Structure 1
Amino acid sequence: MHLNWAFEAASTYKIQMQATATLAGTGEQISSDIVTYTFKVVN
């Protein structure tokens, strides 16, 4: 997976992400914990 972000202004940005997948053998859906990423953008 590749992600690209663009920020318009200097600030501190926080995003939350969670990964979800389906197991091929059982069809069970599994998910990760939600994690928070913090980006500090400066001029």
Structure 2
Amino acid sequence: MNLELIDIYGKVIFKENNTKQNYTFDLSKYTKGIYLLKITNNSNTTV
């Protein structure tokens, strides 16, 4: 599973290839705003 955190301007600010079923993001270090989380596995992409 590939995780990407994307800011409102389309810039990928975090990217990780992860095999865990559960994942926690600490967003405290990022500026307040709107972010998209893109999750991709072998056959699907969810934003």
TM-score (norm 1): 0.34
Computing the radius of gyration from Cα coordinates, the structure with the larger value is 1
Higher helix proportion (structure 1 or 2): 2
TM-score (norm 2): 0.32
